[in-house]
Amino acid sequence: MTTDARANDARAMRRLHVITWGCQMNVYDSARMQDVLAPLGYAPTDRAEDADMVILNTCHIRENASEKVFSELGRLRPLKQVRPGMIFAVAGCVAQAEGREIVARAPFVDIVMGPQTYHRLPEMVARAARAAGAVIETEFPAESKFDHLPESAAPAISAFLTIQEGCDKFCSFCVVPYTRGAEASRPMPAVLAEARQLVAGGAREIVLLGQNVNAWHGDLGNGRSGGLGRLIRELAAIPGLLRLRYTTSHPRDMDADLIAAHREVPGLVPFLHLPVQSGSDRVLAAMNRGHTADHYRRLAERLRAARPDLALSTDIIAGHPGETEADHQATLALIRDVGFAQAFSFKYSPRPGTPAAGAPAQIAEVEKDRRLADIQVLLRDQQADFNRGCAGKVIKVLFTGQGRHRGQVAGRSPWLQPVHMTGPASVIGTETAVRIIEGRPNSLAAEPLPQTEELACA
């Protein structure tokens, strides 16, 4: 290489720092933004100080989301004073919902882009270099971003794959239908092609993502259309793929074929995140969830009948407008009846533009705090019990990397619990039977099996 060529190369080399908030779909989007920018010479860096471009991939689902973005921008701003050529981009749902306000309050931001537009990033970067003001892309474009994305760089052992975006359910409290748009499924051939490519690159688990992933529906190629159960069966047939998961689901879209897939597809993990939000029929109706508490209880029973070792996870909201003490008690009763291995719970947070935000019977903050605390004590106990119950069992763990300590490997159980084990690095990338020696509140400790037992279990 000549000196000139080397100098050009050094100039072409740029650094990209991405900060991600929110759900796994944002984690997936951030990875794909890195893929889109790689051909322009952008390599990832962990340090904003070293970056030529910083992307803030934001989440709008609960309160303070935009304030967090503005405070992060305030923290980053001095970097731009030192390096005026630096590009600041705000992506994701806050960008979608509050694009104009971002530019007004933080005029040093160069790019504001909604979640459907990041395939246009190279063009936006070029425009930002020329433009005096910010480049704003928050329309929902006619073309799908998925048709314009490059193949992903080396996938992880557990890889995300977005198969569906947006939502038509319009729950009273939720911004997703407004920020991510209408429900749209990716076609089956595109999903299968991306899955094959992930597995060829070393992925052993695929996590199917969507705001409403079990609303996925597609053309099966024979003139008939099918749902997620069908897609899962097709994906499970890919050689080398050991595990499949999907998130996040709506109880109304758990159809009989999807439940049957839990019985029939061994690689579909016995773990399901199925948000219920409340255990009160009054509140579920006010939330526009379209089902009752008993419908959810029956669904849990049907899933466990199909796959007896299935564990459930959920989302709960404390203090939706109009929620009474009796409603709150009904939520606690549902949690006790169903029993969750893991869960997320939140204080209701009014989101501008959603129906619940304008409802008259808002619940006082202290009351929401108390109800949330009740819920969290119960959920924490259920999770701890579930983890303790794993002690002594032999289970298959998908090992995904080194653990925190020397000589340790880390992975996930079929129920998504983090597992740590002192053991050989050769297990990384494999699903290996191990013995659980301790079930801790948030993780499991394991030990390798003697060779003979390993064979017996395989």
Q: Tell me how crowded residue 320 is: count the other CB atoms within 10 A of its CB.
A: 26
Q: How far is the CB of 211 from ligand SF4 (least distance, A)?
A: 4
Q: Is 173 in the site for ligand 5AD (CB under 6 A)?
A: yes
Q: Could you tell me which stretch among 34-42, 341-349, 400-408, 422-430 binds ligand 5AD (CB under 6 A)? A: 341-349
Candidates 275, 318, 269; CA nearest to 296 is 275
Counting beta carbons within 10 angstroms of the beta carbon of residue 401, is it exposed (0 to 12), middle (13 to 18) or buried (19 or more)? middle
Which of 174, 299, 318, 372 is close enough to bind ligand SF4 by CB under 6 A?
A: 174
Cα 16 from Cα 125, distance rounded (Å): 12
Residue 61 touches which of ligand 5AD, ligand SF4, none (CB < 5 to 8 A by kind)?
ligand 5AD
Q: Indicate the residue type of 413.
A: S
Q: How far is the CB of 50 from ligand SF4 (least distance, A)?
A: 36
Q: Could you tell me which stretch among 24-32, 216-224, 344-352, 376-384 binds ligand 5AD (CB under 6 A)? A: 344-352
- Cβ nearer to ligand SF4, comparing 280 with 387: 280
Q: Is 169 in the site for ligand SF4 (CB under 6 A)?
A: yes
Q: Is 367 in the site for ligand 5AD (CB under 6 A)?
A: no
Q: Is 186 in the site for ligand SF4 (CB under 6 A)?
A: no
Candidates 89, 94, 2, 95; CA nearest to 42 is 89
Q: Is 277 in the site for ligand 5AD (CB under 6 A)?
A: yes
Q: Is 170 in the site for ligand SF4 (CB under 6 A)?
A: yes
Strands (E), 69-175: 87-91, 111-113, 135-137, 158-162, 164-165
- Cβ nearer to ligand 5AD, comparing 62 with 297: 62
- Cβ nearer to ligand 5AD, comparing 202 with 352: 352
Which of 24, 349, 422, 443 is close enough to bind ligand 5AD by CB under 6 A?
A: 349
Phi, psi angles (nearest 5°) of residue 3: -60, -40
Cα 309 from Cα 182, distance rounded (Å): 35
Q: Is 138 in the site for ligand 5AD (CB under 6 A)?
A: no
Q: Tell me how crowded residue 404 is: count the other CB atoms within 10 A of its CB.
A: 7
Q: Six-digit token pair at 148? A: 């314009």
Q: Decide the pairing of beta strands 14-20 and 394-402.
A: unpaired
Cα 253 from Cα 230, distance rounded (Å): 14
Q: Is 273 in the site for ligand SF4 (CB under 6 A)?
A: no
Q: Which residues neighbour 160 within 8 Å (Cβ) at sequence distance 6 or greater? A: 24, 27, 28, 31, 206, 207, 209
Q: Tell me how crowded residue 448 is: count the other CB atoms within 10 A of its CB.
A: 17
- Cβ nearer to ligand 5AD, comparing 271 with 399: 271
Beta bridge partners of residue 161, listed in sequence order = 208
Residue 169 touches which of ligand SF4, ligand 5AD, none (CB < 5 to 8 A by kind)?
ligand SF4
Residue 18 touches which of ligand SF4, ligand 5AD, none (CB < 5 to 8 A by kind)?
none
Beta bridge partners of residue 68, listed in sequence order = none
Residue 435 touches which of ligand SF4, ligand 5AD, none (CB < 5 to 8 A by kind)?
none
Indicate the Cα dihedral angle 285, 291, 293, 297, nearest 10°.
-170
- Cβ nearer to ligand 5AD, comparing 313 with 382: 313
Q: How far is the CB of 174 from ligand SF4 (least distance, A)?
A: 3
Q: Is 375 in the site for ligand 5AD (CB under 6 A)?
A: no
Which of 155, 177, 270, 275 is close enough to bind ligand 5AD by CB under 6 A?
A: 275
Phi, psi angles (nearest 5°) of residue 248: -110, 145
Cα 69 from Cα 94, distance rounded (Å): 8
Contact 298, 192 (CB under 8 A): no
Q: How far is the CB of 362 from ligand 5AD (least distance, A)?
A: 12
Among all residues, whose Cβ is closest to ligand 5AD?
A: 315
- Cβ nearer to ligand SF4, comparing 17 with 245: 245
Task: Kindly state the helix (H) or strand (E) to which residue 196 belongs, with its residue range.
Answer: helix 188-200
Q: Could you tell me which stretch among 2-10, 35-43, 162-170, 326-334 binds ligand SF4 (CB under 6 A)? A: 162-170
Provide the 3-class DSSP secondary structure of residue 40.
Answer: helix
Which of 15, 60, 145, 250 is close enough to bind ligand SF4 by CB under 6 A?
A: 250
Q: Is 346 in the site for ligand 5AD (CB under 6 A)?
A: yes
Cα 197 from Cα 188, distance rounded (Å): 14
Cα 150 from Cα 341, distance rounded (Å): 37
Which of 97, 109, 113, 317 is close enough to bind ligand 5AD by CB under 6 A?
A: 317
Cα 257 from Cα 227, distance rounded (Å): 8
Which of 211, 280, 342, 432 is close enough to bind ligand SF4 by CB under 6 A?
A: 211
Catalog residues that contact ligand SF4 under the rule CB under 6 A.
167, 169-171, 174, 176-177, 211-212, 250
Catalog residues that contact ligand 5AD under the rule CB under 6 A.
61-62, 173-174, 275, 277, 315, 317, 346, 348-349, 351
